[in-house]
Structure 1
Amino acid sequence: MLKWLKRVLLAALLIVFLVVGVFFSIRNPQLITLDLVVWHGPELSIALYLILAFAAGAIVALLASSVTLLRSDRQIKLLSKKLDKNRSELDSLRKASLTKELAVSEE
């Protein structure tokens, strides 16, 4: 039910960002040359350089979060295996305890 609302809100947010980006690029048509220590970039608009910087930042953030997500998934699998092992051990101890109690009560 809330899936469609999430999609609508995401689409609206994307449209807002696109409109802001278009207005930003229209209002800042100046061309600049990116001058790094060892590399001189081509002459492009300020807006394009900023969009490229934001895109690079988003990619770096996505990669960093995916590493954390993979670590969490691995830890979840490990802990799930431990839990299953502990549950089976507990079940076997309970069964052993019950059979011992039944043997004592029969005597």
Structure 2
Amino acid sequence: MRSLMCLLFLVIFCSVQMTSSANLAIEVANSNCCGVFSNKKIPVNKVVSYYKTSSICARRAIVFKTIAGREFCINPETSWVRSHVDIVDKRTATPP
């Protein structure tokens, strides 16, 4: 009887672990992570929007989307990134 209870506990524990891992796997599959950073300085007048990569990505990055629809992964530590982000924020902000 005791071994049956241990087996039942083990099955339940494994089931919980598998369902928790499945949610993470789905999130990783749906996220846009950057493998390589672009070395190009994107002209700010070509940038229409940006987003930050998910916290589950191995590398943190800022992704700039251009008028042409291309996306560039940029290292957020790059000197010109902060000013581009500020300009795009001002451009897309709604008036109070």
- TM-score, normalisation: structure 2: 0.37
**Relative contact order: is structure 1 or structure 2 higher (C-alpha 8 Å, sep ≥ 6)?**
2
Greater strand content: 2
- Is the radius of gyration larger for structure 1 or structure 2? 1
The answer to which structure has the higher helix fraction is 1
Scaled by the length of structure 1, the TM-score of the pair is 0.33
